[in-house]
Chain A
Amino acid sequence: MERLTSLEKFHELQSTVRAERPEDRPQVIISAGTCGQARGANGVYDAFRDALAERNLSEKVELKRTGCHGYCEVEPNALVLPQGVFYAHLEPKNIAEIVDETIVNGRVVEKYVVANADGSEHFALAQELPFYRRQQRNLLTLNTLIEPTKIEDYLALDGYAAFAKALSSMSRPEVIEEMKRSGLRGRGGGGFPTGMKWEFCYKEQADLKYVVCNADEGDPGAYMDRSLLEGNPHVVIEGMLIGAYAVGAQHGYIYVRDEYPIAVRHLQIAIEQARELGLLGESILGTDFSFELQMSRGAGAFVCGEETALLHSIESKRGMPRQRPPFPAQSGLWGKPTNINNVETWANVPLIVNKGADWFAAQGTEQSKGSKIFALVGKIRNTGLVEVPMGITLRELVYDVGGGIPNDKQIKAVQTGGPSGGCIPAHLLDLPVDFDALREAGSIMGSGGMVVMDEATCMVDVAKYFLEFLEGESCGKCTPCRMGTPLMLEIVERICDGHGTPEDLDTLESLAKTIKNCSLCGLGQTSPNPVLSTLRYFRDEYEAHVYDKVCPACLCQNLIRYEIDQDTCISCDRCRKACPVEAITGELKQHNYYIHNHLCIRCGACEEQCPVSAISRLPGYDPPADGAEAKKQSPSHSTAVGSAGGEQ
């Protein structure tokens, strides 16, 4: 493609690609993000390609692979346009039928369509699906329509038009003002007003300025940014172009997590294509604005999601945070003023410039405008990525969009904000999801990770899980985080092992307060959140572990026992054979099978093997007559700490 040397040439190209892509043309679109591919989307794509070729339809029907459509639960899925039929749970062997019935004859094949829980209703069209109905897919819509490695697809759907508009008809202060009026707040978790952040950087006088995209997405269970980068990398580039123009930056970096190879590849291709067209480089679109963009790959450190640590990592140093002030807007990359924003924040920028600050500010709540992408995972029927207006309640998210809890279980909590967040209990499900309501409830919205937990989840174990994670990810610089987090972990581990004392709960709280207030960076400052929020809402579970030595959720290894229900047991010997430590005795058909709890390592193999579900986990460890302690499980990371500090 030819380099665009002027605004006119840009609009010409836009008209050309639009004309080549009439909206009602026949298309088959396969959702092929990392999760889609993991489930076999590529095989489905190949099957479509072959089936279309066999019927000589390759020229008539556009087949494409896009980024994630968001409905991960039913992948591999395909969208057939222009009808809008949504097929789910596809396998290569189904495809020939679909091509014949739907593409050739225009009929819906009901067995491949999403049904509701009891099968009474079928939803043939994507827009009818309960999963999509309540969403506000400002950003994710394009994920469904564009091929991420084709810049033309993006251009045809108003791609880079916002940048062209800003560059040609808005002054830099006007762009910043539009950002401020929109009310956009950082989507990475901090929630800082974006317009204000840009203004700080804009005001600095310097010969060199930078803009950076934080694509580190370290929260486990969150993959919103990955889907945006895999499915629509150009929207991030466009956002950064607008931001660079506004603050006066000449150089930009996208810091991508190493664990996202497809995102890295798609970004590389996108940057090359943009450069080829002259949207990156010198004298963009014939103006005096020049901007170069580079990628910087992370190397596996959660703390590098913190902005000062991220900057050090781009500088090829150890990713250790530093004290702020000075803030990156004053002194960032190599000491120059730097504006850092999250992927989703940048992605919202072109929309706001195109459709206006008022359009954006009309969505959401008073203090939290616009829409937000969440990764709804865990014990939920419709696992996936959802984009909803701010202010939607947790209840709507879990039940209307998420489809509720599977396996007839009861919801216990929704964990938001990743390791920096907390757990919202079931009785607070009517809370609106926005920055402030969640913070008041003791959690944070964070980057968008939302893990649904049911009655089989032990909340003390959840605290332990996050503390283990944070202990490993602590950079080690400041004492409260480096030494305090392992101390909190030690106490919670002791509680999970049945060696907790009442004083432990008080120690936890005082440790948590100090760590929260004194840590150097956000990782340390928020590391007590999982403990504090679970203590606040699930103190009864902690107390059961401490006083009764029982795990009510039947999870903590040392506080449960496995028992065979003699009435149900059919004496088939499977459990005894499955046991790796020979803790089950019994003879075939003699109905004398028994699990010796003091030998049992609670691995669950017997429960899995039992064909009649005669083995169940019960709360409370039943010590044998000689009072032997429960055997310790040996997975590497959940070793019980012995009697350290156990002296009373």
Chain B
Amino acid sequence: MAPPRSRAILPLLVAVAATAALLFGLVRAGVLRPAAAPAGAERPAAAPPSLPARIGFNEHVQPLLSENCYACHGPDSGSRKAGLRLDRAEFALAQRPGGAAIVPGQPDASPVIRRIRSTSPAEIMPPPDSHKTLTPAQIALMEAWVRNGAAYEEHWSFLPPKRPAVPPGGGANPIDAFVRARIESAGLSPNSPEEPARRFRRAALALTGLPPAPAEADAFAAAPTEAAFAAAVDRMLASPAHAEHMARHWLDVARYADTHGIHIDNYRSIWPYRDWVIAAFAANLPFDRFTVEQLAGDLLPDATLDQQIATGFHRCNPTTSEGGAIDDEYLALYAKDRVETTAAAWLGLTMGCAACHDHKFDPVSQREFYEFASFFRNTTQKAMDGNIATTPPNVLVPAPADRGRWTELNTALQAADAALAARRAAATPDLDRWAGDVAAATASVALPPDGLLLHLAATEGRGRSLADSAPGAGRSFTLTADPVWTQTLHGAAARLAEPATADLGDLGGFDATNRFSFGAWVLVPEGSGALLARMDEADGFRGWDLWFQNGEVAVHLIASWEADAIKVETKSPLKPGAWTHVFATYDGSGKAAGVRIYLDGEPAETKVAKDALRGSIRTATPLALGRRSRSAGFRNGTFRDLRLYGRLLDPPEVARLAAADAVRAALAAGGGSRTEEQKEALLGHFLAHVDPQSRELTARRAALETEIDTLRKRGAISLVMAEKPTPPSARILKRGAYDQPGDEVHPGVPRVLPPLPAGDVSNRLALARWLVAPGNPLTARVTVNRLWQQIFGEGLVATAGDFGITGDRPSHPDLLDWLAVEFVESGWDLRRMVRLMVTSGTFGRAAHATPDLLRKDPANRLLARGPRYRLDGEVLRDAALAAGGLLAGRVGGPSVKPYQPDGIWETVAMPQSDTKTYVRDTGEGLHRRSLYTFWKRSAPPPAMEIFNAPSREQCTVRRERTHTPLQALVIWNDPQFVEAARALAARALAGAADDGARLDGITRPLLARRMEDGERRVLLDALAGFRRDFAADPAAAAALLKVGDSPAPDGMPAGELAAWTLTAAQVMSLDEALTL
């Protein structure tokens, strides 16, 4: 034995996992049959190899061939050597020059046998450079198989399951019958039933991810009948906690996270999908519908909002918007991820292997991979996520309480539009009547002058004086130079050739809290300059302006440029040489969102260039026309009808201003000679501003829109799938390279599986339906196996994501098939299957391992013992919170940010990422169930990750389970566990008066039991020490009690509570507390 100093630590603490892995390796290699005793120390190493009584191709030969031969003689045509293929009888037994590779019944005449027996380096198979060798036992096995006739079989998982007969004498639950038969045939005997309280705790943790309430566990322990157990299981199955727990497992499969994942890794809004998953489990949605809605809910006829949200499943893939990234490359990656995820989750196949070449082991060709990929290459989703939370396609998901109203509103909006259209169609007679009195009608066109502070019509046509026609103004302003007067259709206008500007005095002295509006008709100036400004350039540009920059329009509100200012600008330039009505309004909110710019009466598309105004914009400098305080002229721009209002104009009012000239012209033209455009302008004005009926309809519609907007703000966006209208197709990518497209292919599924239903359109919906069609041999098996894994800790097929040739064989093939058939025939009833498993005697057996069992079946593949496995990090945290009475019960909603060490995000994030800085929640967000914890892909919650949570960057159907020292540190030192221990201690102290009862108050919520006398002595002795210790060190006690946001209860002696906190922490860190 090596000296202790050189021992390794981290890797060595996984004895169990390693033991199991090694054993499985032997099983997989076909050397060991699971039923037989493992190659034990008892057996001399030199003993002649013993052969199984019946040699099966699937069970014994295929594993050996796939491990040692298929890399060169398997399904992959690209790497095949000597044209020889050994995975299927039609090739292996076929005549070749020099005879068939395998001659049934004649090992000595079979070249394959000769080559594996050979000792010559030139001839031996596998060849030396493969670094693979066959053991004598394996060679003997091959010989015997050939001698017996070299019978091939289809791979077991590709044959549809048939319901096997339940073995007799196994009790009421068929699971127990199958398991018992297997145990007995191995010469073992199963453990007796587990103690009731422990069985109850096990069921609660498996079903809800939470320990049971002590009272419930006690009640069951007092009267532990099967009926009481079944009733309790049904209660747990009906609880929201069960739905959350099921959802949490599925979210690993769905690779759910709250950020995009690649590069900037910004926030992604997709939590409504997570809530859909919870709701689906709560409703026990049949698994076939669960499948179809997630993969293709958008393609269902009249897809509901929920069915669209469900398609978030395939929007959970990691995406990028890295500068320089190439679209084709990422579109290929996204499709590959979706193929791999779909194949792993439903088919248990590792199809991703076939992206670059034919699969090495399984009958999936590269062409078939791309046929499958084509289902996912028809999305409207862009390659780049834009680093925005709502990357299209997406849907708006109203808050749960708004769902009904949301539907009503959208219906009402449609009705309002229809009513408006109807009125528009019927309005002509009324319009004609109104327009008949031209003078009266013309007089009514102008916007009433409420709040009009300044109005320069600029129609003088000569001179340098401009009259202000605002009500009561009675003044005029003088330009510093003559403008160039031009004539327009609607009158004169002034072009401000430099240095023509005007001082407009003390008008428009607004502050950031005032509402005001301003604008004019303009022909764009050259370069950049202000048409109207009250801005002091010498004082950090304090003030406001209407700014033109290279043809675009902008509005500034500035306290101090550029740190303390708002700037909003239009996205595209005005057309040079064409009149545009430019108008801006500001609502006094102090935010860029409060600035609107209108072009020709319509709200313009704008972008926010600055949104950081905090200070005052009021300035002593006067209002100026054609410049700011001294420069930035409106160079060679032309304007007319310039207005400044001391109020916020609404969109119809701005539209009215913009339309007024055209309407007047239309009226003047008279009924007979109006152009179509003029008729349109007139009708628009009439409906918007004159016709009472239409105005009322418009007002009602606006109210609907306001309400819709309110609901929208209360709701959330969720990312969904959407299909292009064209039929799906894909190109085969040579060696998987995005820039080497080959043949075009169309949707299809691997030939080894049943075909797509005839007649359907071959799209995602067809794929989804095919997955749950009766003939599919894989989906039901894969799904019940994953459920089994979730509940028992290990699947009947240990490789839950690989049911292919190199995957593990089922430990109980008949049981797996029975469960699969039962699942389908029950209507894909997940809850029924869960209930069956948890109420089985197999699940309820005692978990202890006798030396005999440990030696003969160390990994418990035969299930002679009850399950015993380390709980997931989420369960550990939730259990601690629940035991301490801290767990918040709310279901669903945006993700939350509980305690997390500082710097986890900051260390890895890009400076511009919106998930760069972790700001933890206060209050409820600290104590929600762990499946609501915000999941940043590039820096997942560390306490979860340390307990083997995946990063959610790819589909994970099976978590690892390791034991490392870092896990101990989490349980001991993570504030959420320390706080929970203190809360639990406080409850125990408050709940009982003597130490024994208080100890029960700690162990019952965590372990669902009272400690035995010996255990009690250990804990109470330790407690006595803690008491003495804290009595001597009150500062330490006080410090410990301050951990966590939730306050320690008043009135409890600090030393006592601190001592009990350590006791609670001890119990929380027991292996038993961390284990099912």
Asked if chains A and B come from one complex, the reply is no
Point out residues on A near B: beta carbons under 8 Å.
Answer: none
Point out residues on B near A: beta carbons under 8 Å.
Answer: none
